[in-house]
Amino acid sequence: MINYFTEIWVFILGLCIGSFLNVCIYRLPESKSIVHPRSMCPECGTLIRFYDNLPILSYLLLRGKCRHCQAPISFRYPVVESLSGLFAVGVFLKYGISLEAAIYYAFIATLLVITFIDIDHQIIPDVITLPGIPICFVASFALPHITYIESVMGILIGGGSLFMVAWLYHLLTKKEGMGGGDIKLLGMMGAIIGWKGVLFTIFVASAVGTVSGMLIMLKTRKTMKLAVPFGPFLAIGSIAYIFFGPQLMAWYVNLLRQ
């Protein structure tokens, strides 16, 4: 019973953090402060009262519309809040209340911000990834399952591998392929999940990205020539590694030996 209530409070905390993540997703691409001014309706500019800013609940009570101008509120807001809450519970169940759990949750929350910014704007802000690389490297010292050598190798292999892909693509096609933001993002990921996590992330991201692209082509019945953001797929791979990576890798190795 105690654990049950603890999980509820962890979920609520995750929802509240998710509300802040929505602010970051909206403001960072526009180079706005994430702490000032208070949240307001982007249509009418009315400041949002605290009782209209409750995660998920306010969206439901307001029926997805601004109280003042009735402009629709994006469904994205409760989605991000829900994901934040669910990941908070998932990290808690796997790592308990610990510094390790706090580090992994902060990392996942950062990936949520990057994912939705990349989906909306096809950019991964340097303001997140550049400081994120040294921050994740320092944080790795508090993680029991990764050494500083693995972290350094993760940075080099993560950033270096995508840089080589981008360079070769440009060499062969004379066109820009992999964005520089993806390179820095994978370097940041490598700092906290190590080189093994980087390889796992690239594999999962490539597989999920390929399947997603094929499904889109089948749905539209057209050859895809538009740029597809790769950041969300990298985030999926990295988060999957945090929760299931070592187990899946062990299963795959055993499968190959049979």
Which pair of structure tokens corresponds to residue 96? 């308990």
What's the rounded Cα separation, in Å, for the pair 196 and 245? Answer: 9
Q: What is the pLDDT along the chain (258 residues), one digit of tens a residue?
A: 456 889 999 999 999 999 999 999 999 998 888 888 888 887 887 888 888 888 999 999 988 898 888 889 899 999 999 999 999 999 999 999 999 999 999 999 999 999 999 999 999 999 999 999 999 999 999 999 899 999 999 999 988 777 676 666 656 666 665 567 888 999 999 999 999 999 999 999 999 988 887 887 777 665 555 567 889 999 999 999 999 988 888 777 777 776
What's the rounded Cα separation, in Å, for the pair 202 and 208? Answer: 10
DSSP string over 221-235: TS---S---SHHHHH
What's the rounded Cα separation, in Å, for the pair 13 and 89? Answer: 9
Which pair of structure tokens corresponds to residue 121? 């704007």
Q: Report the number of secondary-structure helices (H) and strands (E) in the chain.
A: 8, 0
> Residue 192's closest CA among 239, 154, 248, 237?
154
> Residue 189's closest CA among 79, 114, 84, 81?
114
